[in-house]
């Protein structure tokens, strides 16, 4: 990141940058465990080495000035009185976090903030959670709030749920806030507890492929899937004392799935129960050094998301299926909400160029779109640099 360039922009907007400070929050990918987070299950994400940067400094008044290198909207708001405004675009995510800080009694003041993100917009790599944790850590640090990091993560999730009206689970904010270099997080989304798992990938690389298709259906389909999962729980509660689908192991689900009369709802529930088990099996395989098994579980995850949960779409399927046909690919699957966004693949480091060439060509032939590819380095969580 060219901080000289960013500081020049900051100085142009707000005067000199001599007393400015630099903060960073990563994007994230989820290696396996998809749509299990809001079903009380396990997910296995990691933070990325790229994300969102902020050049900022505290002010002596109550005004917060927000500008970005990525978007045209610029906002100056008074902490004493601000609200969601659709015309304010990306800055509403920052406002939501500020609203949470103030609502929870933290004493914060004004600030000048200039943001630059290098997460591809709309790729499903958690640019919104990255921005939220970035703003949270900026104000926590500038004003000495001393906020426990998990508490800050929960506040950022609440900001997205209530201020932005997006009913996300906790995985994105947690991975961005709690990420650690060269580690993935096995996160229990019900208990909100995690353990770090070393990403010992041998001579393999994590490769992200971006469909470059904006996730137009993702939000509406996401809410529909949540409702279908809740319907499955309601049906199963006729016989079982459960609050979430991920409380069930596959055997218990198979013995009781007759309670779900709607075949579509039954398919959704089947994906969730088996995907939750796959996440745990994948971590065990990684810890045992069995990367072949890990890759097979990634493939099975995508197939389930395609056939049972119906959230992949033609573009993600084209990328995953092309990846499966390239020698040196251990596994490939969609990552994130679906209907566009990205796939994540585990690829032999000597085959990365061949992978991008062959998968890119097959994808272009099938969809008419051009995919972008990134080798993903695993980074740390939100912090001051």
3-state SS, 214-282, equals CCCCHHHHHHHHHHHHHHHHHHHCCCCCCCCHHHCCHHHHHHHHHHCCCHHHHHHHHHHHHHHHHHHHH
DSSP sequence for 131-174: HHHHHHHHHHHHTT----HHHHHHHHHHIIIIIS-----SHHHH
Rounded CA separation 199/284 (Å): 12
Point out the catalytic residue in the list 37, 88, 172, 310: 172
Interhelix angle 149-158/127-142, nearest 10 degrees: 130
Residue 219: per-residue pLDDT: 67
- Is there a contact between 330 and 292 (Cβ–Cβ < 8 Å)? yes
Q: Are residues 156 and 278 in the same domain?
A: no
Residue 215: per-residue pLDDT: 62
pTM for the structure as a whole = 0.93
Which of 2, 6, 33 lies closest to 17 in space, CA to CA? 6
Residue 168: per-residue pLDDT: 82
Q: Are residues 192 and 260 in the same domain?
A: no
User: Do the domain assignments include residue 254?
Assistant: yes
Write out the H or E segment, with its range, that includes residue 206: strand 204-210
Q: Are residues 208 and 182 in the same domain?
A: no
Rounded CA separation 178/84 (Å): 28
Rounded CA separation 375/234 (Å): 42
- Is there a contact between 236 and 259 (Cβ–Cβ < 8 Å)? yes
Ramachandran sector of residue 109 (left: φ over 0; alpha: ψ -120 to 50; beta: rest): beta
Tens of pLDDT along the chain (385 residues) come to 778 888 999 999 999 888 999 999 999 999 999 999 999 999 999 999 999 999 999 999 999 999 999 999 999 999 999 999 999 999 999 999 999 999 999 999 999 999 999 987 767 788 899 999 999 999 999 999 999 999 999 999 999 999 998 878 899 999 999 999 999 999 999 999 999 999 999 999 999 999 998 765 556 788 899 999 999 999 999 999 999 999 999 999 999 999 999 999 999 999 999 999 999 999 999 999 999 999 999 999 999 999 999 999 999 999 999 999 999 999 999 998 888 899 999 999 999 999 999 999 999 999 999 999 999 899 999 999 9
What's the token pair of residue 46?
A: 């990691």
Q: Which domain holds residue 189?
A: 3-199
Q: Are residues 137 and 264 in the same domain?
A: no
Rounded CA separation 309/224 (Å): 11
Decide which of 147, 171, 199 is a domain's last residue.
199
- Please report, for the domain that includes residue 233, its CATH number: 3.30.70.890
Note if 172 is an active site residue.
yes
How many Cβ atoms from other residues are within 10 Å of residue 202's Cβ?
11
């Amino acid at each position: 990141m060219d901080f000289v360039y960013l500081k020049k922009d900051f100085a142009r907007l707000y005067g000199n940058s001599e007393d400015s400070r630099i903060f960073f929050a990563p994007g994230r990918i989820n290696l396996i465990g998809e749509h299990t987070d809001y079903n009380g299950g396990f997910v296995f994400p990691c933070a990325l080495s790229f994300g969102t940067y902020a050049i900022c400094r505290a002010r002596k008044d109550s005004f917060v000035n927000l500008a970005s290198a990525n978007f045209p909207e610029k906002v100056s708001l008074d902490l004493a009185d601000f609200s969601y405004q659709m015309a304010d675009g990306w800055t509403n995510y920052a406002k939501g976090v500020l609203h949470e800080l103030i609502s929870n009694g933290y004493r914060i003041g004004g600030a000048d903030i200039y943001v630059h993100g290098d997460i591809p917009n709309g790729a499903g790599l958690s640019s919104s959670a990255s921005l939220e944790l970035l703003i949270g850590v900026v104000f926590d640090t500038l004003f000495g709030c001393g906020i426990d990091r998990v508490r800050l993560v929960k506040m950022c999730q609440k900001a997205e749920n209530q201020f932005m009206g997006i009913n996300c689970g906790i995985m994105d904010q947690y991975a961005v806030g709690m990420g650690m270099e060269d580690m993935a997080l096995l996160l229990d989304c019900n208990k909100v507890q995690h353990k770090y798992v070393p990403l010992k990938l041998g001579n393999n690389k994590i490769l992200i492929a971006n469909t470059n298709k904006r996730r137009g259906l993702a939000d509406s389909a996401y809410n529909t899937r949540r409702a279908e999962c809740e319907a499955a729980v309601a049906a199963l509660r006729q016989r079982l004392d459960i609050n979430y689908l991920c409380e069930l192991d596959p055997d218990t689900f198979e013995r009781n799935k007759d309670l779900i009369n709607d075949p579509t709802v039954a398919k959704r529930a089947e994906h969730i129960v088996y995907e939750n088990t796959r996440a745990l099996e994948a971590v065990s395989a990684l810890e045992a050094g069995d990367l072949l098994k890990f890759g097979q579980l990634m493939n099975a995850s995508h197939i389930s998301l395609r056939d049972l949960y119906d959230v992949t779409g033609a573009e993600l399927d084209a990328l995953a299926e092309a990846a499966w046909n390239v020698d040196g690919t251990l596994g490939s699957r969609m990552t994130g909400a679906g209907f566009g966004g990205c796939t994540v693949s585990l690829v032999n480091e000597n085959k990365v160029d061949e992978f991008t060439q062959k998968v890119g060509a097959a994808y272009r032939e099938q969809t008419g779109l051009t995919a972008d590819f990134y080798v993903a380095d695993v980074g740390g969580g939100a912090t001051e640099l």
